[in-house]
A and B are shown apart, each in its own frame.
Chain A
Amino acid sequence: MLKLVAAAIPALALGAAAAAAEPVKVAYLTPKTGSMAFIGAMYDPTIDFIVKPFNAAGGWNGNPVEVSVYDDQGTTQGAADRFKQAVADGARIIIGAGTSPLAAQNLADIKRWNQRNPDDPAILLIVGAEGVNFTGADCSYYSFRFTTTPYIRQNALAKVMKETGALGQKVYSLQPDYTMGRDMEAATVANAKTYGYEVVGTARHDVFKIKDFSSFIEKARAGAPETIFTANGGSDLQLILQAASSAGLPAKFAGMFLDEPGNLAAAGPAALGNFTAQIFNAQAGGEKGEAYRAAFNAATGRDPVAFMSNSLITLTMLTHAMKQVPAAPKLPIKALITAMETTKTPWPLGDLSMRADDHQLQLPLVVSVVSKDAARKLDGTDMGFKPVKLLSAEEASTPVNPDCKMVRN
């Protein structure tokens, strides 16, 4: 069992009241070992950063929040096992911080638990999984999504790239072959008319199994695309950029995970000129954004990038909503859900809110380009993300998915 108690101890100032206080237990389910350990590694620095000051200020009516990290090893079996363990440990707030298949497992477990224990429900906060289904056909009163969908990101990318003339007439879609990649492909095709481009080809590939992408690159070249949309991340994205650059493919890539740690370093100059739709970019947030980045860097020794920002958003919104829930012997989950749906949370790039209809986060998005002129360089390279445009939450939002039939109870 790997269990890292990340934040607990209530502030001494609370004295006698704190001694009697029951901690609000939160379970963070994420891969810490195995091939997806790089995802779990992103979350560690974010937890203390949010939870420590919240507890120091009194927590939830004097009760501290206690976040424990559980290692699901990146497998659905691991996710199911850790869920059981977390619930047995007393956690009723579960943060699902893996890929779409892991989040699907978390969601199934939550639904089953709530059916069997209607008086003691649990909620799922999905940090990173972007599969459309989580706020579509599988949307649930007890789950919230704290990131975007491929539709939101593709829309933002296409909109801003069109405005700045970077999009071109011909686009291509190169996707990992699972839920998110399929969604990204569908979004790319669906937006063709709106943004006046032609989809000259689509291709999907096995995730983390292809070492040599050169044939995919040559196939894309045949359509002469100016922009290639991709939902790839991790080593797949690095390999694609490498292959494209060494084969001299002139197209630029537009995606969402280029700011994961290590990607710029691994891709090298191949990353330059590519676009990405970011959750957070300090430069785009002006003084507020810079102050936030500096505070995070001072506390953790690194800048917030990629899913770290999703985790910061999740924990900020969770603690913010908790403040609205009045004191009780035990944190009432339904009151927390209502608070989550109704409160606006301030964030350096603009307000955050949770849409009650489908529990999809409404958040500002930054479309950036990899450039040597960026204010902040990443990964020890001379490159960083230069914001092209900051879209407000309203501008970035896409309509409620008609597949979502939420039962509110």
Chain B
Amino acid sequence: MDTIVVALLNGLIYGLLLFMISSGLTLIFGMMGILNFAHASFYMLGAYLAFAATRIFGFWGGIVIGTLGVALIGLICERTLLRHVRRHGHVQELLLTFGLSFAFEELVKVFFGPYAVSYPVPESLRFAAFSIGAVQYPFFRVLIGATAIAMFAAIFCLLRFTRIGLVVRAAVLNPDMVRALGYNVSAIFSGMFAVGAGLAGLAGAMGGAYYTTNPNMATELGVIVFVVVVVGGLGSLSGALIASLIIGVLVNAVVYVDTTFGDLLAKIGVVSAETARTLLNVPIANTAGVLPFLLMLLVLMIRPQGIAGDERV
């Protein structure tokens, strides 16, 4: 029983971290139509900026600088690069952001070296929030989860209930009309891109401390955030949240499954017991890494627009 609770909690919180990273991506895509391949790089930059700033401003200062710094980088990228390729279409945007992701990775290696850096959770935050059986549940994990939930609530309320949200949504639907009404649409778009990047920066500043900060962290998560966005439905914030939680729980739960693919298929009579023991003797627990992709395949087959995606997309 304890194990199930812990597994579920671990899954939910990992899912919430995934949501933190992918919410910015889905926001940028949903609002501006930019598929930003460099998004996971913003996550990495957030971690490194926070790591560098922590030495001077302390841990919380690092988190703030990581978030704002990446938002600023996002703003600069949008104003100096993305803006100019937008009229050439999506492929150009995609190629540009893809190139940016390489550039960011190599830049990080130039400044911080090819190895992992020491960016730990501060001693003052290393304590157990509560215990479940023998498991002391770390406080920082709970903090990551709480931050993600707060973030979701903030973005949701901002877009739904405020004047800023109204203008932003209008600018997405009909930019010319909004421009004619006297709003600076160009600034609104830059602002949104910056916010999206900043969200990834915040996730990096928190996640980098709890997990590790190394030049591979963007590559490790780069694909999975796209899986989250596709499964959730392109551009849907609540879809991204649902998809993140499903993936987080699935990936964590599958580790406990003590059976092989062969046994499973043999039980339902698809393959012979002989094949199950030899060819298909692959423990299901070993597939935690590929599971999100299987899920994506399934979703694309059954519901191509994603869990909460707009059917018109």
Contacts and interface: CB of A to CB of B under 8 A. Distances in A.
Interface of A: 33, 35, 37-38, 41, 177, 203-206, 208-212, 214-216, 218-219, 221-222, 234-235, 238-239, 242, 246-248, 260-263, 265-266, 268-269, 379-381
Give chain B's interface residue range (CB within 8 Å of chain A): 35 or more
Interface in B88-145: 106, 109, 113-121, 126, 128, 134-138, 140-141
A246 B214 contact: no
A214 B253 CA distance: 11
Contacts of A35: 216, 219
16 contacts: A38-B215, A203-B286, A204-B285, A206-B286, A214-B141, A215-B252, A215-B255, A215-B256, A218-B10, A235-B212, A235-B217, A242-B212, A246-B126, A247-B135, A247-B136, A262-B113
A204 B289 contact: no
Contact of A265 (B109, B117, B136): B117
A212 B251 contact: yes
Contacts, number: 131
Contacts of B120: 268-269
B211 A177 contact: no
A248 B217 CA distance: 24
Contact of A215 (B11, B109, B121, B126): B11
Nearest to A270: B120
A307 to B, nearest CB: 12
B210 to A, nearest CB: 7
A38 B128 CA distance: 34
B311 interface: no
Nearest to B217: A235
B305 to A, nearest CB: 27
Contacts of B11: 215
A383 B271 CA distance: 53
B33 interface: no
B220 A209 contact: yes
Task: Identify the interface centre among A41, A208, A211, A221: most chain B CB within 10 Å of its CB.
Answer: A211
Given A266-B116, A266-B117, A380-B118, A246 B290 contact: no
A210 B212 contact: no
Interface string B200-225: 00000000001111111101110010
B165 interface: no
B25 to A, nearest CB: 16
Given A35-B216, A211-B221, A242 B210 contact: yes
Interface in B45-101: none
Contacts of A265: 115-118
A218 B118 contact: no
A212 B14 contact: yes
B250 to A, nearest CB: 11
B252 A235 contact: no
B103 to A, nearest CB: 12
A212 B252 contact: yes
A206 B290 contact: yes
B228 interface: no
Contacts of A33: 106
B7 interface: yes
B114 A205 contact: no
Contact of B286 (A204, A215, A239, A262): A204
A69 B24 CA distance: 40
Contacts of A239: 211-212
A370 to B, nearest CB: 14
Given A246-B126, A247-B138, A248-B128, A215 B10 contact: yes
For the complex of A and B, 7 pairs with smallest distance between CB atoms: A206-B289, A262-B115, A209-B289, A265-B118, A262-B116, A266-B116, A215-B252
A370 B92 CA distance: 50
Given A203-B255, A235-B217, A246-B126, A37 B134 contact: no
B184 interface: no
A378 to B, nearest CB: 11
A246 B283 contact: no
Contacts of B286: 177, 203-206
Contacts of A381: 118
Contacts of B253: 215
B266 interface: no
A333 B42 CA distance: 50
A41 B220 CA distance: 20
A266 B212 contact: yes
B155 interface: no
Contacts of A246: 121, 126, 138, 140-141, 210
A215 B255 CA distance: 7
Nearest to B126: A246
Nearest to A204: B286
B245 to A, nearest CB: 13
Given A35-B219, A37-B114, A238 B212 contact: yes
Contacts of A208: 216, 219-220
Given A208-B216, A215-B7, A218-B3, 11 more contacts: A204-B283, A209-B289, A211-B224, A212-B14, A218-B6, A235-B116, A246-B121, A246-B210, A247-B135, A262-B113, A262-B115
B288 interface: yes
Given A248-B135, A265-B116, A211 B256 contact: no
A343 to B, nearest CB: 34
Interface string B231-267: 0000000000000000010011101100000000000
Nearest to A40: B114
A395 to B, nearest CB: 32
Contacts of A263: 116
Contacts of B289: 205-206, 209-210
B255 A219 contact: yes
A214 B10 contact: yes
B53 to A, nearest CB: 17
Contacts of B255: 203, 215-216, 219
Contacts of A268: 118, 120
